[in-house]
Structure 1
Amino acid sequence: MRGSDSRALLASIHDVGPGFEKEVDRLVGLMTDTLRCSRFAMLVVPNHWGCHPIRSGSPFANRLRAWSESGIEMFVHGWYHKDIVEHHGIKGLKARYMTAREGEFLGLSYSEAARRMEDGRALVEDIIGRKAAGFIAPAWLYGWGAMEALLDSSFDIAEDHMKVWIPQTGKVVARGPVITWASRSTARTASSVAFAALACKVLHPLRTIRVAVHPSDISKDSILSSIDTTLRCFAKSRQAGSYQSLLK
C-alpha cells in the first residue's frame, strides 16, 4: 500500500457487538466521514459480558461480514470482555484504575486464555469468511497466561497501550501510546481530552499513530469533538492505514 518508511494513522473501534450496534454505527459514520475511507479496524467481542452473543447467520453477523468486505480489519477482542478474577498487588491496581472490571485477560490461566482466544478466532473467522487480523485483549491488559497463549496462537498481530507486536516472535512493529478517551467520570474525560490535544502537538514524529474509540464515547459531545479533531489533525500528514501493513 505504501512504502515501509511512510507514516500511518491506525484507527479502531473497540467493543463491537450487537449490544452496541447503534453506537458502533455512529462511530463508523464518524470514521468514514473523517478518514474518507473504510481503512480502520473493529475489535469484536463475541459475547459482551455474557449478555450479547454474536451468532453466525444473525443480522449483526451479516453486518460484520459486510464491514469486513468493505475493507475494515476485524480483530478478536477477548470473549466476554468482563474480568471476574480477584486480583492482588500490581494486577489489582491495574484492574481497579485502568479499567472498570473490563480486563478479561489479565488474570486468566494459559489454558483458559488459549481457549477463549481460539473460540473467538473461530467465531469471527467463520462470520467474516477470512482470517482475523489479530488479537487485542480488552483494556489492553495481558496477564502471563494470555501472553503465553498468544505465543502459541496463530494471530498475526497483538497490541497493548504502548506497542503493536508479532506474538510468535515478539517483534515490535509499532511504538507509541494509543490515543483514546474515557467517559466514566468528568475527571477522566477531561484528562483524556487534554492528552489527545497534547498528542496532536507532540506525537507527529512517530511513524505510526494509533487512535482508539469506544461505544461509550458517543455519550459526551466533548469526546466526540476531540475524536474528530484528533483524526483530522493526523490525517493531514499521513494516510489511514491497516495493521496488516505493519507486517510488510
Structure 2
Amino acid sequence: MPIAGTSHSRRLLASIHDVGPRFEREVDQLVDRLSHHLAGPRFAMLVVPDHWGQAPLAQARAFQAKLRVWASSGVEMFVHGWTHRDDSGSAGFKAKHMTAGEGEFLGLSQNEALRRMTEGRALIEDIIGRPVAGFIAPAWLYGPGARAALGQVGFALAEDHMRVWRPSDGAVLAKGPVVTWASRSPARVASSLAFAALARTALKPLRTLRIAVHPGDTGVPALLDSIDASLAVAVRDRTVGRYTDLLKRN
C-alpha cells in the first residue's frame, strides 16, 4: 500500500454510510472489511442520529461507546442527516422514487435543515468528544434550504455524489462520482456492479477517488466481492487518506 505522501499524491477516501445502532451488526462487518483492505480504521463514518425514527443514538449507550473508540482510533465522523427519511412531503419524485424516500434534506426549509444539522452535530460531538469532520446529506441530496443552512452551521466539509466542497466559501475540494453499491433490487445490484467494474479503470485519472459502502451491501455476496475488488485495485496506487486532508491543500 502506498505510504502517505505529498499533496500531489492520488488519494483514496473510503466511507461507511448509515452508521448507527439500527445497523450495528452490519457496520461491524464493514469495519472489519475496510480495515483489512486499508490496513486499519482509515475511513470515515456517516452517523445517523435516529435512523427512520426507530434507532435513537442518544439512547444507545453501547453503540456510543463504539463510536468513541472508532473516533479515537482515527475514524472521521460525519453528521449524516437526522432520520435519513424524507418526511417533508415536498421533495417529489427524486426523493420518493430514486432514494426510496430517504432524501431527508431535499425538501426541508432552511430553518428545519439548520435545526437538524445543529442538533445532529451537538449530539455526535458530545458522544465522541471531538469535532465532526463535516456533514453529508442522506442519499447525497440537498435542497435549497439545506444548502443555505450549511453556510450557517460552520461544517468544515460537505459532500454530494459528484464533489466534496467547503461550505464556508463553496470551494470545490474534490470532483468525480462516488463509487457505491445498491442492494435494493436486482436491477440496482446489477447496475452498481457494472458501474464499479467500469470505475476501476475509468476513474483511475481522478486525483481523489471516493468509495462508499452501506449496511445493505453486507447481505449481497456479489456486492461484497465487488467492494473487495474495487478496494484492492484502489490501494495499489493511491494513498489511503482522510477527508480533512482536502482542506490542507486548498
Normalised by the length of structure 2, the TM-score is 0.96
Q: Which residue of 2 aligns with 1:144?
A: 144
**SS at structure 1 position matched to 2:210:** strand
Confirm whether residue 54 of structure 1 aligns to residue 57 of structure 2. yes
Does the residue aligned with 1:183 lie in a helix, a strand or coil?
A: coil
1:37 maps to which residue? 40
Residue 171 of structure 2 is matched in structure 1 by 171
d(CA) in 2 for partners of 1:231 and 1:56? 34
- Sequence identity, in percent? 60
Give CA deviations for 1:14-45 in whole Å, capped at 9, x if unaligned. 00000100000000000001111211000000
Alpha carbons 1:56, 1:126 under 8 Å: kept: no
Name the aligned partner's letter for residue 14 of structure 1: H
The answer for unaligned runs of 5 or more in structure 1 is none
Q: Give the structure 2 partner of residue 180 of structure 1.
A: 180
| TM superposition shift of 1:86 | 2.3
2: distance between equivalents of 1:7 and 1:128?
A: 30
- Which of the residues 13, 16, 23 maps onto 2:16? 13
Show the 5 A alignment for 1:16-27. Answer: 16-27=19-30
Amino acid aligned to 2:122:
A
How much has 1:58 moved relative to structure 2?
0.7
Identify the range of structure 1 (63-72 vs 49-58) with the bigger mean alpha-carbon deviation: 49-58
CA shift, 1:95, in A, is: 1.1
Q: Name the counterpart of 1:238.
A: 238
Q: How does 1:1-248 map to 2 (within 5 A)?
A: 2-55=5-58, 58-87=61-90, 91-248=91-248
SS of 2:78 mapped into structure 1: strand
TM-superposition CA deviations, 1:148-170 (whole Å, max 9, x none): 00011110000000000000100
Spell out structure 1 runs of 4+ moving beyond 4 A: none
Contact 1:173 1:247 in 2 (8 A): yes
Distance across 2 between alignment mates of 1:247 and 1:55: 30
Task: Name the amino acid aligned to 1:59.
Answer: A
Root-mean-square deviation (CA), in Å? 1.1
Q: In structure 1, the residue corresponding to 2:222 is in which secondary structure?
A: helix
SS of aligned partner of 1:79: coil
SS at match of 1:243: coil
Does the Cα contact within 8 Å between 2:96 and 2:102 map onto a contact in 1? no
Give me the whole-angstrom Cα distance separating, in 2, the residues matched to 1:121 and 1:154: 10
CA distance in 2, matches of 1:191, 1:203: 17
Q: Is the Cα–Cα contact under 8 Å of residues 13 and 212 in structure 1 kept in the other structure? A: yes
Q: Contact 1:56–1:127 at 8 Å: present in 2 too? A: no
Q: Partners in 2 of 1:176 and 1:148 — Cα distance?
A: 23
Aligned residue identity for 1:217: D
TM-score norm. by structure 1 comes to 0.96
CA deviation string 1:59-105 (max 9, x = no partner): 11011000000110000000010101223xxx523213420100000
Q: Distance in 1 between matches of 2:157 and 2:98?
A: 22
Residues of 2 paired with 1:152 and 1:28: CA distance?
32
Distance (Å, rounded) in 2 between the aligned partners of 1:130 and 1:215: 25
Q: Distance in 2 between matches of 1:5 and 1:120?
A: 34
- Structure 2: segments with no counterpart, 5+ residues: none
* Partner-residue secondary structure (3-state), 2:41: coil
